[in-house]
Structures are given as C-alpha cells and as structure tokens.
Structure 1
C-alpha cells in the first residue's frame, strides 16, 4: 500500500466578503420584512463575514461547478497540469443539478483530459467522503494522484423569492405570513466557496501533509433526520420526498428549502461528536497529546465551548491553543469548510515538520462524523 500526501491545497471564494448587515441586500427580504431571527442567529453563530456567488440583485455570479473548477485550477501550474489528474473526487451538499453528478460536470468544466470521477453526496461530510475516496485510490495504487474537493453554493437556495409563494399561500389561508424558524435559521448560517486538495503517492512541495488515516461514523440507525431539503418531515420522523408531492406544493410549502430541526441539533450534535471522536482516537491509539492542531468544522461558535467542555469531561482535552477555526471570516461552507480551514492553516506559517493535525467534521443531516489525522512532513 502506498503512503498518501496532500501536496497542494487550492481554494476559491467568490466576490468580496459580505458583512452581517449586507446579507439581506443579497438574499432579499421575505414578504418585504426584515427577518426576526436574523440578529439572534448571527449573534450566536459568531460569523462576521461570508462569501456569496451572487450580485446584490440576487443574480448568480458562479455555479457550484465553477467554484469547484476554480479551486482545482488554483492547484495547477507547469509542474502539475490538468491533464495529469487521474481522479477527480468531489463532495457537496448543494450540486447545481439533480443529475448529472457534480463531479462529471466539474470534469466537463475543466476539460483537462481523461480522468476517473467520483461524486460524494450528503452534507458537510461529503467533502471528507470525497477525500477518503481519493485517499483510498492513491493508497491502493489504483491511481498515483487524486484531486479531491469540497464546495457549496447555498446562497441561491436562500433567496427570498424562493419563499414568497409560501408566504402568499399563508396569507390566503389567513395564517401568519412568516416562514418557520427551521427554514429561516439556515438563511443566516450558510456560505459559498470551494477548496481542493492534490493527493499524491510521494511527498512534494514545501510542506506536504501525510494522511495517516480517515474514519467515518454514522448514527442514522439511532437518530432521525435533523437537516433536510427536497422533502418534508412527517409526524413519525420519516421524510416525504418532493417527488411524492403535487408540483404546486413544491412552492406552496417551500419543499426544496433547506430545513433543520434545531432541537435535535442541540440535543445530539455534540454528544455524538464526542462519542465518535473517542472511537476514532482509540482505534488508532491516539490521544490529544498527539495532536498539535485540531480543526473542528462547527456551524456556529455557539457550539465551540460546549464541544470543548464535553471533550474534557470525556477525558479528551485538546487545549484551546490547539484549536484552529476560520468560521468568523469565511462562514460555514459546509462540505468545503475543512478544506478552507486547512488551506488557511498551511499558509499561516505556523506549521512545523513532525506536527500532527486532526480534522473533525460533523454532519447534522442524520448525525454523521468524519475524522482525519495528518502529519506535517
């Protein structure tokens, strides 16, 4: 089996950073009213700026495919060109199309020559699943390199226009013309962007990162759905697909809106994160003392102190100077967040040979967790 190294990291963030006060200029106001939940959500999540692939008129400036392809292009130069890519493995929770898959569309955009492609669907763990596919391909010798990506373009899903029909329907029914908090909540949480890793079977470049292992855990057998889109949650916790609704209900109920059960999120996301972390570290005989930097993907700074405290209670104290996050300035880019965190850490000048980095990615959709352990070479 080959060793696998992250030799290059690229990113692409669209347009200029957007402040909290500018968000509704881009996303619009539902029913021409300011959101009552916006300030509460933003106060808790601690995000100060984020990026949207939109103009102030709500017009798209980039597709998810273009964001991803641009991040990959930022890996390439005369020493490693697009026609040398043997595998493109892409993860996202916001593909531009139901079909074809995201990865084949990225391949088509790049026009880099023959490549194997893989698309990882899901939510935040989709980027890690794409990474694991590339890691296993290089490790097994199936390919000598792989380009892995995590990306999101959620802003176009959050535009006010997508919710106005539901509000109009509520007015006709003489009900309160306000969309539910589980839909409004996520309008102030999610951001756009893409990151890309070049994986190779030999270390190259100034500061290659050896992937020691990648682990994943799902709790779908225990817990019901927490975050979903293209469906509605039923009283028994099951999901009813958009394809089983009359098409007029797609607009009347904002079926395609991204929704989150915040009560389930608060109840389980940290505890299952600690449980799965214990499993991953014990499997590989690793302790927090073996970690120099922990990169936790969190959707909100609201969870940071709670996660730290629960880890300490479980006997897993990653001291606070080891924590590296960029949520405040980049926002929550879902499947792309861990790529963007690692890119920023690598370019910070803080890393030294022999140090170890622990990547932690939770996914609230049905409570899935992914972890990776890296060595700086």
Structure 2
C-alpha cells in the first residue's frame, strides 16, 4: 500500500462576490415580493458574500461541470498537465442533469484523453466521497495520481422562476400565497463554486499533505430525509420521488427545488456529527488536543457555538484558535466547501511540517458524515 499525499489544491469561484443586499436581484423575487425569510436566515448564517454562476444581467455563465473543469485546470502547469491525470473523481449535490454522470461531463469539457472516472452522488459528503475514492485508488497502487473535486451550481435551482408555477397555483387556493419556509430557507444558504485536489503517491509540491485516514458514517437507518430535491416528503416521512408524480405536478409543487426540514436539521445535525467525530478519533487513538487545524463544514454560523458546546460535552473539545473556516466569505458551497477551506488554509502560508489537519463534513440529506486526518509532510 502506498502513502497518499494531496500535492496541489485549486479553486474556482465564478464572477464577482455577491453581497447580501444584492442576492435577491440575482436570484429574483417570487410573486414580485421580497422574501420574508431572507433577512432572518442571513442574520443567523452570518454569510456576508457568496458566488453565483449568474452575471449581473441574470445570464448563466457556467454550469456545474464547467465550474469543476476550471478548478481542475487550476491544478495544472508546465510540470503537470491535464493529460497527466490518471483518474478523475467528481462529487456534487447539484449535477447538471440526471445522466450522464457529473464526472463524465467534467471529463468531456477537459478533453484530456482516456481516464477512469467516478461520480459519487449525494450532497455535501459527495465531495469527501470523491476524495476517498481517489485516495483508495492511489493507496492501492491502481494509479500514481488522481484528481478529485467537490462542486455545486445551486443558484439555478434557487432562481425565482423555479417557484413561480407553484405560487401561481397557490393563488387559486389562498389569497396571499407564500412559499413554504422549507423551500425559501435554502435560497439564502447555498452558493456556487468548485475545488480540486491532486493526489499523488509521493510528497511533491511546497506543502504536501499526507492523508492519514478517512472515515464515513450514515444514520439513514435511524432518521428520515431532511434535505431533498426531486421529490416531496409525505406526512409519514416517506420520500415520494418525482417519477411517481404526474408531470403537471413537477412545477406546481416545485419538486425539483432543494428543500430542508429545518426542525429535523436542528434536532440531529450536531449530535450525530459529534457522535461520528468521537467514534473516528477513538478508532484512531487521536486526542482532540492534538489537532492543529480543525476545518468543520457548517452550513451556518448559527451552529458554531452549539457545535463547540456539543464537542466539549463529549470530551473532544478543540480550542477556538484551532478552528479554520471561510463560510462568511465564500458561502455554503456544499460538496465544494471543504475543498475551498483547505485551499485557503494551504495558501495562507501558515502551515508547518507536522501540523495535523482534521476535515469534518456533515450532510443533512439523511444525516451522513465524512471525516479525514491530514498531516503536513
């Protein structure tokens, strides 16, 4: 088995950063009215800027695969070209289409010859699953290098046009139709962007990061769906897919919009996350105090203090000074967030040999978690 190192990191964020007061200009108003939930959500998540693959005139500038292709090309230079890539593993929660797969579409844009591809599905953990597949391929000596990515292009799922048919339908039922909060909530949470890592079996580059281990946990056997798209949740918790609805209901119920069961999120996301983290640390005999940099993907700063308290109550406290996040500047990019955090940390110039970096990614879709430990080589 080979050692595996992250030897290059890259990101791509489309267009200029979008401030809170211009979000609705870019995404559009629903039924000609400003969202009542927007200010509440933004006050809690404390995100100041984010990026959309939509320009100031409302034109779409990139799809998801194009964002990802740009991030991958950011890894390349005269000493490592896109034609040197042996495996391409791409995770996302917002693919451009159901088929072909996301990685296939990225590969199509790259035009870099015949390579193996892998497309983990899911939400935030899909980016970590892409990393794990690449990690295992290099570690088992299947390939000498692999590129993995995490990306989202959620903005097109959140534009007002997606919800207009539903609101118009609601007008026939009630006088003042309001979009349900579980749909409106995520319009002010999610962002676009892509990140990429190059994995190799030798510690090349200026700041190679050795991947020590990766762990994953799912609680789908205990908890019903919390964040979902392409279906609707019935009162008994069953998730009914879009394919079982008549096509005229797809737009009337905004079945393809991303929805969030906020109550279920608050009840489970932290407790299960800390349970997973504690299990991973105990499995590998690692003390929380030994972590130099803790990179937690959280969707909102609303959860930050409570996450710290939950960790402290479970004897895995990591001091505030060791936390590293960039949510307020780049927004919640789902599967790409952990890539963007690590890219910024690596390029900050503050890492030194021997530093231990803990990556922690939750996914509220049906509560799964991915955790990894890196060491600066």
With normalisation by structure 1, the TM-score equals 0.99
Deviations 1:278-314 (CA, angstroms, capped at 9, x unpaired): 1000010001122100000000000000000010010
Give the deviation of 1:57 after TM superposition.
3.5
Q: Deviations over 1:41-98 (max 9, x none)?
A: 0000010000000023332100101100000000001111111100000000000010
**CA offsets, 1:316-352, max 9 Å, x none?**
1100000000000000000000000000000111100
Aligned partner of 2:136 in structure 1 is 136
Partner of 2:75: 75
SS at match of 1:40: helix
1:184-218 deviation line (CA, Å, top 9, x unaligned)? 00000000000000000000011100000010000
- Is contact 1:147-1:198 (8 Å) kept? yes
Instruction: Report the equivalent of 1:257.
Output: 257
Q: Structure 1: how far apart are the matches of 2:123 and 2:104?
A: 19
Give the CA deviation at 1:175: 5.0
Look up the match of 1:55: 55
Deviations 1:240-276 (A, max 9, x none): 1101101010011111110000000000000001100
Counterpart for residue 330 of structure 1: 330
Q: Within 5 Å, give how 1:14-25 maps onto structure 2.
A: 14-25=14-25
Map 1:275-290 onto structure 2 (within 5 A): 275-290=275-290
Tell me, what secondary structure is at the counterpart of 1:32? coil
Tell me what 1:236 maps to.
Answer: 236
The answer to whether structure 1 residue 366 and structure 2 residue 375 are counterparts is: no
Instruction: State the shift of 1:28 in Å.
Output: 0.2
Offset of residue 222 of structure 1 = 0.5
For 2:175 and 2:215, locate their aligned partners in 1 and report how far apart those are by CA, in whole Å.
Answer: 47
Contact 1:6 1:198 in 2 (8 A): yes
Q: Secondary structure at the match of 1:232?
A: strand
- Is the partner of 2:354 in helix, strand or coil? coil
Deviation at 1:133, TM superposition (A): 0.2
> SS of the residue aligned with 1:165?
helix
Match of 1:165? 165
Q: Is the 8 A contact 1:104 1:117 kept in 2?
A: yes
Cα distance in 2, alignment partners of residues 9 and 58 from structure 1: 30
Q: C-alpha separation between the residues in 1 aligned to 2:14 and 2:310?
A: 36
User: What pairs with 1:10-49 in structure 2 (closer than 5 Å)?
Assistant: 10-49=10-49
Equivalent residue, structure 1, for 2:118: 118
Give the unaligned 5+ runs of structure 2.
Answer: none
Whole-Å separation in 2 of the counterparts to 1:28 and 1:363: 27
Residue 105 (structure 1) aligns with: 105
Q: Distance in 2 between matches of 1:56 and 1:163?
A: 21
Whole-Å Cα distance in 2 between the matches of residues 175 and 355 of structure 1? 59
TM-score by length of 2: 0.99
**What SS does structure 1 have at the residue aligned with 2:31?**
helix
The answer on whether the counterparts of 1:12 and 1:71 sit within 8 Å (CA) in structure 2 is yes
User: Is contact 1:58-1:159 (8 Å) kept?
Assistant: no
* RMSD over equivalenced CA pairs, Å: 0.6
Matched, 1:357 2:357: yes
